[in-house]
Amino acid sequence: MEIAEKHLDIPKMLDAEDLVYTARPDERAIMTYVSCYYHAFAGAQKAETAANRICKVLAVNQENERLMEEYERLASELLEWIRRTIPWLENRTPEKTMQAMQKKLEDFRDYRRKHKPPKVQEKCQLEINFNTLQTKLRISNRPAFMPSEGKMVSDIAGAWQRLEQAEKGYEEWLLNEIRRLERLEHLAEKFRQKASTHETWAYGKEQILLQKDYESASLTEVRALLRKHEAFESDLAAHQDRVEQIAAIAQELNELDYHDAVNVNDRCQKICDQWDRLGTLTQKRREALERMEKLLETIDQLHLEFAKRAAPFNNWMEGAMEDLQDMFIVHSIEEIQSLITAHEQFKATLPEADGERQSIMAIQNEVEKVIQSYNIRISSSNPYSTVTMDELRTKWDKVKQLVPIRDQSLQEELARQHANERLRRQFAAQANAIGPWIQNKMEEIARSSIQITGALEDQMNQLKQYEHNIINYKNNIDKLEGDHQLIQEALVFDNKHTNYTMEHIRVGWELLLTTIARTINEVETQILTRDAKGITQEQMNEFRASFNHFDRRKNGLMDHEDFRACLISMGYDLGEAEFARIMTLVDPNGQGTVTFQSFIDFMTRETADTDTAEQVIASFRILASDKPYILAEELRRELPPDQAQYCIKRMPAYSGPGSVPGALDYAAFSSALYGESDL
């Protein structure tokens, strides 16, 4: 009662003793107590339920506030990173060197590879957290979360879009700058190369143009100087483009704001100034040379005429000497005859060439006559030609010496080609006879091997006769080998008189020998099979007729399908298992074909009365007096000595019931004879 009064605020209306010691307690008081207890406990349960609800609501609210704070923090950090990064990406301050721009590009690539990917993940996670938070708020009947100003998902997306736009623009700017610097470096290097080339070419040209070497020169020298000057003018005109290119490159470098434009401009100005001076000096020197040229023009014309005619004539003589001494390799009479014809045509041009030589010598004589007549103090050497009269005389004499030598070598080669042609015809005559002979013999042997008339002995005699004829024909092959060796020694590589080569003949001969030997062996095997199995000649002919009928390719072989058709035509009821068993007998190596010998072996095995392992065991049992073993003495007594010794050596010891010392197991031995055990 005291506890209820103290903790539950229930007034004390009875004492415990009143309930225990009173025969009839006050019912109304007890009912009032019970009612008070009921209301007290019922109120406590409601309080507990209310508390649980409040805790749950607060937990959800706390989690939402944590997610809000987390969103605010991540959004702030991401926006701050974007705020710092965008100015860096919008910085378009160009660098002066390719290395510096490549460093910027490398920094940008590091940003792309290392710095941006985590931020992309943070942005994605931020959107996920925001969506999760809004979902939780909506589920818990809370108002939607409104981030701080500027931190909405759309604000972050906008900032991120500005970042990517700046990033794209930055990347394009970097690449454009690198291309610009690359272009600048290329142009600068091109400028340096062209300027260096021009400066090297122009070095010393002014001093040359200032010389007055023509004042003491002869007409020939003046003419040479004038031609040289003309060549220089051509060279000068050709360099006009380079100078213009140098100026254009310098202008482009200035327009592209090249960092070393000052030095480029200085160097370009020096080149242009020097170019103007060279043009002025070139014009003055040309005028002076032309005045001197008119004084010595007569001799100059003669020298020029000599040079024009001497050079081609000299080249003709050098070409003629080269052709007359040229090594030639021919392989037929037609080729050497063509060379002889060309040589005769060359000899026909010699008189005309001699007339040209005399005309050239007359020009030089005229030059010397003019110099002597007018007492001109100049050399008679020709400035336009390096060919001298002594060279022309020497080379002409050399040509006349080489002509008969060439005649002799061509005639010797013609004789050699005639000899080679005789060798070709000799080899071709034999090869054209031997090749068809070998082919005919191959066909005769093939026909003989599939004949179905006559006895096997007659067929063997015929094949032996073929073999004898073939062996006797070997002398023709040996003679052809000798002719072939002569052809090889003569280095003859082709023969239009025959399609046969020695290799073809050798292969055909070896194939013929192999074929006759194999065919004889096949007939011998058929004879042994016939005699061992007791087959008549008529049966052999029937076997051959059946085999030939189903040998569709007529190559002495039946494939599996041909063999199956043959067996079905003979009345065999073949299932797959039975046919597979038969194939293991006739084609044990799995080559996919059945030979005639295998066909005969199968047919004789199927039709003849052959011994079996059981029959041999029964015979041995008779010799052993019905014992399961046999003794060596019994074998020696009942069998010939060599056969008895053969059995004793190969029979295993008997270890079955009733075994005695020296007992031999004839059953295992008999099974092994027919391949029915591993003995």
Q: Give 54's pLDDT tier (boundaries 50, 70, 90).
A: low
* Confidence at residue 45, expressed as pLDDT on a 0 to 100 scale: 62
Contact yes or no for 413/334 (Cβ under 8 A): no
User: Of 63-67, 112-116, 222-226, 571-575, where does the model show the most confidence?
Assistant: 222-226
Task: Report d(CA 355, CA 286) in Å as an integer.
Answer: 39
| One-letter amino acid of 555 | N
Q: Give 212's pLDDT tier (boundaries 50, 70, 90).
A: confident
Whether the per-residue pLDDT at 268 is higher than 70: the answer is yes
Whether the per-residue pLDDT at 485 is higher than 70: the answer is yes
Q: Give 436's pLDDT tier (boundaries 50, 70, 90).
A: very high
Tokens at 598, concatenated: 């295998």
Largest pairwise CA distance in the chain: 189
Q: How far apart are the first and last CA of the chain?
A: 112
Tokens at 520, concatenated: 């004889």
* Confidence at residue 550, expressed as pLDDT on a 0 to 100 scale: 75
**Residue 630 φ then ψ, to 5°:** -140, 150
Q: How does DSSP classify residue 378?
A: S
* Confidence at residue 112, expressed as pLDDT on a 0 to 100 scale: 74
- Choose the weakest-confidence range: 36-40, 268-272, 580-584: 36-40
Residues 6+ away with beta carbon under 8 Å from 273? none
Task: Report d(CA 553, CA 566) in Å as an integer.
Answer: 14
C-alpha dist (Å) from residue 503 to 497, 509, 561: 16, 10, 38
Beta-bridge partner residues of 653: 664
Mean residue pLDDT of the chain comes to: 79
Residue bearing tokens 């005969």? 600
Contact yes or no for 195/267 (Cβ under 8 A): yes
The model's pLDDT over 457-467, given as tens digits with 9 standing for 90+, comes to 777 888 888 88
Contact yes or no for 137/64 (Cβ under 8 A): yes
Residue bearing tokens 């910085």? 91
Tokens at 265, concatenated: 């401009």
Long-range pairs of 670-673 with CB within 8 A, sequence gap ≥ 24 = 670/613, 670/616, 670/617, 670/620, 671/613, 671/617, 673/613, 673/616
Residues 6+ away with beta carbon under 8 Å from 219? 293, 295, 296, 297, 298, 299, 300, 378
Domains and CATH numbers, the chain: 67-183 (1.20.58.60), 184-303 (1.20.58.60), 534-609 (1.10.238.10), 613-674 (1.10.238.10)
Q: Give 190's pLDDT tier (boundaries 50, 70, 90).
A: confident
Whether the per-residue pLDDT at 123 is higher than 60: the answer is yes
* Confidence at residue 5, expressed as pLDDT on a 0 to 100 scale: 66
Tokens at 428, concatenated: 């071709």
Contact yes or no for 500/426 (Cβ under 8 A): no
Tokens at 189, concatenated: 């290097």
Contact yes or no for 360/445 (Cβ under 8 A): no
The model's pLDDT over 76-86, given as tens digits with 9 standing for 90+, comes to 777 788 787 77
* Confidence at residue 437, expressed as pLDDT on a 0 to 100 scale: 92
Residue bearing tokens 């109120």? 43
Task: Report d(CA 557, CA 518) in Å as an integer.
Answer: 14
User: For the whole model, what pTM was predicted?
Assistant: 0.39
Task: Report d(CA 401, CA 324) in Å as an integer.
Answer: 10
| One-letter amino acid of 498 | T
* Confidence at residue 60, expressed as pLDDT on a 0 to 100 scale: 66
Whether the per-residue pLDDT at 214 is higher than 60: the answer is yes
* Confidence at residue 410, expressed as pLDDT on a 0 to 100 scale: 86
The model's pLDDT over 512-545, given as tens digits with 9 standing for 90+, comes to 888 888 888 877 877 777 776 666 667 666 767 7
* Confidence at residue 46, expressed as pLDDT on a 0 to 100 scale: 62
Q: Which alpha helices (H) appear in 608-640, and where do they start and end?
A: 613-623, 632-638
Looking from the CA of 409 toward its CB, the CA atoms found within 13 Å total: 15
Q: How does DSSP classify residue 214?
A: G
Give the CA angle between residues 97, 100, 105 to the nearest 5°. 125
Give the CA angle between residues 192, 195, 197 to the nearest 5°. 105
pLDDT above 70 covers a percentage of the chain that reads 81
Tokens at 10, concatenated: 């229930």
Taking alpha carbons only, the member of 590, 598, 599, 541 closest to residue 566 is 599
